[in-house]
A and B are shown apart, each in its own frame.
Chain A
Amino acid sequence: MSYLLKNATMPNGSKADLAIHDSHFVAVSSLPKDHQVIDLAGKQVLPGLVDLHTHLREPGFEESETVATGSLSAVRGGFTAISAMANTSPVADTAGVVEQVYRLGQAAGLCDVFPIGAVTEGLNGQTLSEIGAMADSAARVRVFSDDGKCVFDPLIMRRALEYVKKFDGVIAQHAQEPTLTQDAQMNEGAMSAQLGLKGWPAVAEEAIIARDVLLAEHTKSRLHICHLTTAGGVEIIRWAKARGIQVTAEVTPHHLLLTDDYAKNYDPIFKVNPPLRLESDVLALRAGLADGTIDIVATDHAPHSSESKDCEWSVASFGMVGLETALSIVIKTMVETGAMNYEAVAQRLSIAPARIARYENHGQVLEVGSVANLTVVDTAAKWVVDRDLMSTRSKNTPFHGFELPGVVTHTFFSGKLVFGG
């Protein structure tokens, strides 16, 4: 199939016509006669979005999400590549499991699904998993993470950082000091004190970030910090980058918008790991994302069945779905506030995550010869989030009822129109 996309607004604000033939962008003059013309006047185009942090729940928890439903959710949100976290059942700690997930993604055929391998066997924090075998598998895993759990043992973390250098991999750390956060339920602050919920101090996150950037400096390895939530964490990353440490960091859309005030009625839809923090943290995260201290936005899309959210706060699961709202939240918090333009959005949501994870066909400049992974957004349109109308199999969005800017109208994956039109 061939497309001529007319009058698109490019990330840098210029207007252009884009031609797609088969899987690539081509010169308009080389389009075959039978191409479809789509007028994108007034619409913003971005390189296909790349999520470095997605929980797809397959294998093991298919009632919450499958690779196929997660893929559909992804392309509705404008993503052409997602990264399946390792905390499935069985855990993605062998070449067999990562290949299974990778193939399920290919079978769904809507976007690339790149598995993330577990750092330790069964996420036990004690024994390195078969990292090399996963890297060499058909899934070609480059990102390793025990996400959901912290790689707490400093020696294991050091070994993991060193080991992935063999194939230019990266360790994505879930920074959470476990002894300071035992049974923790929400950010430790005035709100947790009022609600009588066990607090999760910022220092529990920052202490691990500080330790790990020093380990990354010592081992000269690549470290990625998942879902940064605190102003102090942003400062540590800023310091580490100034020293030349190879560290990258992500922030989730929900941490760019929500604060721990939302916990006040004990609705576990707002229960998430790491927890929602303070307004001052939200502002620091936005500033960090704007100035590049934080490299990327990643969704931490975490589907959960309704029974694990329709219960008491303390027994509810942590997590929120996010693929279908991520871009809108970024527009609301970063673009509409004037902190970022769409060139920066393309950087933070596509180019940088693809570079960190070494996803070669993604995050490319929109030019002739590139793989045609493309997201089209009507940035002037508004929509009201309705959890019942989403494609993800789970309904645990904290944004139900929110009016948000930015509607994804088309998603092209490898030249195929996989959503919209």
Chain B
Amino acid sequence: MKHLLSINDLSRDESILILDTAAELARISDGPMKKLPTLRGRTIVNLFAEDSTRTRISFEAAAKRLSADVINFSAKGSSLSKGESLKDTAQTLQAMGADAVVIRHPASGAPFRLADNQWMSGAVINAGDGTHEHPSQALLDAYTIRKHLGKGAKDLAGLRVAIVGDILHSRVARSNVLLLTKLGAHVTLVAPPTLLPFGVDSWPVIISYDLDSVIPQVDAIMMLRIQQERMHEIFFPSAREYSRYFGLNRDRINALNPNAIIMHPGPMNRGLEITADAADSARSVIVEQVSNGVSVRMAILYLLLGGAPIEGGIN
């Protein structure tokens, strides 16, 4: 594995290796060793062409706990906002000796272009590209689900996960569908038909338009953020109507089975896709997802950068 561009880059075994490595890293950094020397002398660039405090901080913390040097390069105030092309930016990073670039970009597929050998030679980690994928988020979600519901198993065989909301524009949903099904989970997508991609019927998932019928049947429910700008694109009549049919509220929490967990990749729109009491309920693992994110990203950085440089790689 040279890059992490898509969950498709990972085999089932590699995915499990990342989760296992994250679990061990979580244990040792919760316990005896806060900082590891593993990536000393390595330079990791956080190239964020789109705002995302949460993911950037998570990757930065992960890199620093592994002793890497971190350079933050965000869109505002950088040459990216002055019209410099992605290619020029990549070549600049190459000249600066970046061993890895963690990229968040509004254009789907931008990390694929960055990984193009003619642009730069370092590892590329997709930290969310447009409406395509967000692999590290899916890995931390799978990690969280396995930790709570896995009963010691390596994979997620037989677990039932519902992903609810704006599937069409969600990179979190795409990566999760690929990863959770790879690990044996049964995934149900719940959304109004307008927020499901054309072609979703070829995905290995169940589609439902009725959240209430899905709720009692799942082990984990993942609520997706409804972005404000979608409101103007007439995907649904009103926020109130969306909330009524697809929001997670107290009644729906009560209909969940007793061990089910509530997830959200953040940031939340409280009152729209999730009510405050749902977000803060004992079932919610939303805050824990954030801390698991650091361990999972440490595992990704270690496995991509900790060893000998690999020529070619999976792509």
- Do A and B touch directly, given a CB cutoff of 8 Å in the complex? yes
Chain A residues within 8 Å of B133, by CB: 196
Q: A41 at interface (Cβ–Cβ under 8 A)?
A: no
B107-142 CB contact bits vs A (8 Å, 1 = yes)? 111101100000000000000011111000000000
Interfacial residues of chain B within 64-106, with CB under 8 A of chain A in the complex:
85-87, 105
Most chain-B CB neighbours within 10 Å: which of A193, A266, A312?
A: A312
State how many residues of chain B have any CB contact under 8 Å with chain A. Answer: 23
Cβ of B105: which chain A residues have Cβ within 8 Å of it? 312
A311-B87, A312-B86, A312-B105 known; A191 vs B199 contact (CB < 8 Å)? yes
The residues of A that contact B132 with a CB separation of less than 8 Å are 195-197
Q: How far is the CA of A256 from the CA of B113 in the complex (A)?
A: 27
In the docked arrangement, what's the CA distance between A201 and B198, Å? Answer: 9
Q: Does B53 make an interface contact (CB < 8 A)? A: no
How close is A269's CB to chain B, nearest CB, in angstroms? Answer: 12
Report whether B129 and A196 are in contact in the complex, using a CB–CB cutoff of 8 Å.
Answer: yes
Tell whether A313 is near chain B: CB-to-CB under 8 Å: yes
Q: How far is the CA of A290 from the CA of B154 in the complex (A)?
A: 55
How far is it, in angstroms, between the C-alpha of A189 and the C-alpha of B197 when the chains are bound? 8
A199 at the B interface (CB under 8 A): yes
Closest to B108 in A: A196
Q: Is A314 a contact of B199 with CB atoms below 8 Å? A: no
Report the Cα distance A266→B111, complex, angstroms.
Answer: 9
User: Are the CB atoms of B203 and A195 closer together than 8 Å?
Assistant: no
In the complex, the answer to whether B199 meets A266 with C-beta atoms within 8 Å is no
Residues of A157-204 at the interface with B, using a CB-CB cut-off of 8 Å, are 185, 188-199, 201
Q: Mark A285-312, 1 if CB is under 8 A from B, else 0.
A: 0000000000000000000000100111
* A14 sits at the interface (CB 8 A): no
Most buried by B among A198, A266, A311, A315: A266
Q: Indicate whether A30 reaches chain B with its CB closer than 8 angstroms.
A: no
Query: Which residues of B175-204 have CB atoms within 8 Å of chain A's CB atoms?
Result: 197-200, 202-203
Nearest CB on B from A74, distance (A): 30
Whether B129 contacts A199 by the Cβ 8 Å rule is no
**Contact between A310 and B87, CB atoms less than 8 A apart:** yes
Q: Are A196 and B110 in contact (CB under 8 A)?
A: no
Q: Are A195 and B109 in contact (CB under 8 A)?
A: yes
Note all chain B residues with C-beta closer than 8 A to A195: 108-109, 132
Question: A314 contacts which of B108, B174, B198 (Cβ < 8 Å)?
Answer: B108
In the bound complex, how far is the Cα of B203 from the Cα of A196, in angstroms? 13
Q: Does A265 contact B (CB under 8 A)?
A: yes
User: Are B108 and A193 in contact (CB-based, < 8 A)?
Assistant: no
CB of B146 closer than 8 Å to a CB of A: no
* B108 in complex: contacting residue of A189, A197, A265, A311, CB < 8 Å: A197
Tell whether, in the assembled complex, residue B109 and residue A313 are in contact, meaning their CB atoms are under 8 Å apart: yes
Report the separation of the CA atoms of residues A185 and B110 in the bound assembly, to the nearest whole angstrom: 14
Those of A236-270 within 8 Å (CB) of chain B: 265-266
A266 & B113 in contact (Cβ 8 Å cutoff): yes
Q: Decide yes or no whether B3 CB sits under 8 A from chain A.
A: no
- Report the separation of the CA atoms of residues A190 and B105 in the bound assembly, to the nearest whole angstrom: 22
Nearest B-chain residue to A313, judged by Cβ: B109
> Inside 8 A of B56's CB, which chain A residues have their CB?
none
Once bound together, how far apart are the Cα atoms of A332 and B85, in whole Å?
37
Find the A residue at minimum CB distance from B129: A196
* B119 CB, nearest partner CB in chain A, Å: 9
Chain A nearest Cβ from B246, distance in angstroms: 20
Cβ 8 A contact of A193, one of B87, B109, B171, B199: B199
User: Complex Cα distance A310/B89, Å?
Assistant: 13
The CA-CA distance from A312 to B108 in the complex, in Å, is 8
A312 touches which of B109, B131, B171, B197 (Cβ 8 Å)? B109
A307 to chain B: which residues have CB within 8 Å?
A: 85, 87
CB-based contact A314/B130 at 8 Å: yes
Using CB atoms, name the residue of chain A closest to B174.
Answer: A196
CB pair A199–B198 under 8 Å, yes or no, is yes
Docked pose: A307 CA to B88 CA in angstroms: 10
- Complex Cα distance, B212 from A140, in Å, reads 67
Closest residue on chain A to residue B114 by CB atoms: A312
Interface 0/1 of A312-326, CB less than 8 Å to B:
111100000000000
Check if A189 sits within 8 Å of B109, measured CB to CB: no
Residues of B within 8 A of A185 (CB): 108
A142 to B285, CA, bound (A): 68
The docked-state distance in angstroms from the alpha carbon of A311 to that of B198 is: 26
User: Known: A311-B86, A313-B109, A314-B130. Contact between A196 and B199, CB under 8 A?
Assistant: no
A191-225 interface (Cβ within 8 A of B): 191-199, 201
Among residues 188 to 228 in chain B, which have CB atoms less than 8 Å away from a CB atom of chain A?
A: 197-200, 202-203
How many Å lie between the Cα of A198 and that of B110 in the bound state?
A: 15
B200 touches which of A193, A201, A265, A312 (Cβ 8 Å): A193
Chain B positions 292 through 313: 1 when the CB is less than 8 Å from some CB of chain A, otherwise 0: 0000000000000000000000
| Complex Cα gap A55–B160 (Å) | 53
Chain B residues with CB under 8 A of A194: 174, 199
With both chains docked as a complex, state the minimum distance between the C-beta of B5 and any C-beta of chain A, in angstroms: 9
Please tell me which one of the listed residues A191, A196, A198 contacts residue B171 in the complex, with CB atoms under 8 A apart. A196
For the complex formed, measure the closest distance between the CB of A366 and the CB atoms of chain B, giving whole angstroms.
46
Whether B112 lies near A266 (C-beta < 8 A) is yes
- Name which residue of chain A comes closest to B119, CB basis: A310
> Considering only CB atoms, which chain B residue lies closest to A188 in the complex?
B198
Task: With a 10 A CB-CB cut-off, give which of B87, B109, B197 has the most chain A CB atoms.
Answer: B109
By the criterion CB–CB under 8 Å, are B107 and A312 in contact? yes
Expressed in whole angstroms, the Cα–Cα distance for A312 and B109 within the complex equals: 7
The answer on a CB contact under 8 Å between A190 and B199 is yes
How far, in whole Å, are A189 and B113 apart by their CA atoms in the complex?
Answer: 22
* Chain A hits for B86, CB < 8 A: 311-312
Q: Which of A192, A194, A198, A313 has the most CB of B within 10 A?
A: A194
Residues of A with Cβ closer than 8 Å to B?
185, 188-199, 201, 265-266, 307, 310-315
19 A-B residue pairings within 8 Å (CB atoms): A188-B199, A189-B198, A192-B199, A193-B198, A193-B200, A196-B132, A197-B109, A198-B131, A266-B108, A307-B87, A310-B85, A311-B113, A312-B86, A312-B107, A312-B109, A312-B110, A312-B113, A313-B107, A313-B108
> Residues on B close to A: CB < 8 A?
85-87, 105, 107-110, 112-113, 129-133, 171, 174, 197-200, 202-203
Closest 7 CB pairs of A and B: A266-B109, A196-B132, A193-B197, A193-B199, A196-B131, A312-B107, A190-B199
Other A-B pairs beyond A189-B198, A192-B199, A266-B112, 12, CB < 8 Å: A193-B198, A193-B202, A195-B108, A196-B133, A197-B108, A199-B198, A265-B109, A266-B110, A307-B85, A312-B107, A313-B109, A314-B107
